[in-house]
Amino acid sequence: MQIGSLILYSAFVGALTGVFAAGFVFLLKLFELYLMGETLGYLPPGLPGEGGLLQVFRGPSYWWLALLLPLLFAASSYLGSGRGLGWLLAAYRAGRPVRASEYFRGIIGSLVQLGAGSPLGREGPMAALGLWVGSALGRCIPLGESSRFLPFAGMAAGFASAFHAPMAGALLASEIVYRGLALEVGALAPALIGALAGFTVYGLFHGYGPLLELPPGPLEWPQLLFGLAIGLVCAGVGTLWLEAERFLQRWLRRLTFGVRHALFGLVLAGVLLLMPEAMGNGLPWVQLGTSPILTLPFLAGLFLVQLALLILSGGVRAYGGQLTPALTLGGLSGLILAQLLGQVFPSIAPAPETAALVGMAALLAGIARAPFAAVVLAGEIGGYSLLPLTLIGAFVAYTFTSPHGSFEDVEFNQDKNAPAGSRTETAPQTSPLPQPPASSDSP
């Protein structure tokens, strides 16, 4: 293995991914500003780590403008390929060649739908950008067997940029490829180098601060019971989300891809008119939920609407990632549970910031099947003083969340009108180390 060259090229892949990721987020913000803000009259609150929490809501000038959403989603369904990060990862594991057009159709489709208020996350297309950069350069650079690690560097840079967390980004890149707590040690170093380089470049454009400002309160030992409780709650939420999504995929299979996405856009149009706060991935509302401004009924309503939208988005196979929404639902779950416990067992209920962080780590661990990355991400956002709580919550949720509905478990040979297949979580552990997906194009 050419260690020096691998380090150099991993950094180069990460930095190039950081440039592309910064450009993607810039375009996404433009879409949100002019489509959601200027045309539809609602601009969701922003992330503290990328410029604050400014929010605009006046409603569309004419109610029928909301009908632009089903038209836009139907059109974007054909723009995209129906193959997101889950499909690309399945192709990666199988060593299947992937054309650059298959990457970019999904990325462009994600850009349009996320800018139009989809509840899914930006980390999916950003990681796909990194996967493409790493796989394409891996075919052009004379590194021999070491080139198989470059996609890890690119994917880790995409995750690190999306979450402002290079350590968590590197772990995510490894845990979602090597399943069942099996980490590829040889891939961690290139992934970490790529994540650090990618976030360094990305931060030049969008800031280096934590994604959310959640300073945790002091940890009291009775609050360890909260870690157990939120882990079980998030396991139930994650299992309901994933299993309902799989059921809906089978039920909606009779509809064409464009009709499915039009239906999703129509539901979002109704949400825009009735509860616009549920538009977008909702993560900034977790930040706002730590203040006394938002009431328990509002948080509960937002949680239920977001969960329903995420189930529907998975059922129609909309474009975007599921990790940021997992952070949102987990954070809301933590805030709601803390308020409920505070009325009955105040010694167990932690501070709102603590509850949000532990909930985010727990649901992310269950949905992504990545407990180590979830714990580290919570630490990078709020510090490691809550390590006992986040460890308990993350591993309890990881243990009890259904593994069969994980969004990563997608067969690479499915077409866009077929439902997602299932793959056992332990299968990649017994297979050879996957080669990077081939691309005939260079970045």
pLDDT at position 183, please? 64
Q: Is 42 helix (H, G, I), strand (E, B) or coil?
A: strand
**What does pTM read for this prediction?**
0.90
pLDDT at 410 > cutoff 60: no
Q: How far apart are CA 211 and CA 165, in angstroms?
A: 8
Q: Where are the chain's structural domains?
A: 1-206, 222-407
Query: Is the per-residue pLDDT at 434 higher than 60?
Result: no
The domain covering 222-407 belongs, at the CATH homologous superfamily level, to: Clc chloride channel (1.10.3080.10)
- 40 neighbors 65 (Cβ within 8 angstroms): yes
pLDDT per residue over 117-129, tens digit each?
Answer: 999 999 999 999 9
Which runs of E-coded beta strand occur in 125-247?
Answer: none
Domain spanning 1-206 has what CATH number?
Answer: 1.10.3080.10
The whole-angstrom separation of Cα 190 and Cα 155 is: 11
Tell which wins on pLDDT, 327 or 427.
Answer: 327
Rounded CA Rg of the chain: 20
Question: Which amino acid is located at 425 in the chain?
Answer: E
Q: What is the pLDDT of residue 327?
A: 97
Report residue 211's pLDDT band, with 50, 70 and 90 as the boundaries: very high
* Structure token pair of residue 160: 């690190």
Q: Which pLDDT belongs to residue 113?
A: 94
CB 17 within 8 A of CB 198: yes
DSSP 8-state class, residue 56: E
Q: Which residues, listed in sequence order, are joined to residue 121 by a DSSP beta bridge?
A: 321
Look at residue 23 in the predicted model and tell me its pLDDT. 97
Structure confidence by residue, pLDDT tens digits, 74-97: 999 887 665 778 778 777 777 777
Report whether pLDDT(420) > 60.
no
Helix (H/G/I), strand (E/B), else coil: 43? strand
Quick check: 416 pLDDT over 60?
A: no
- pLDDT number for residue 272: 94
Q: What is the pLDDT of residue 181?
A: 60
Write out the two tokens for 257: 């891809």
CA-nearest of 373, 269, 274, 264 to 315 is: 264
Query: Is 222-407 in the same CATH topology as 1-206?
Result: yes
Give the model's pLDDT for residue 185. Answer: 63
| pLDDT tens figures, 120-156 | 999 999 999 999 999 888 888 776 766 778 888 999 9
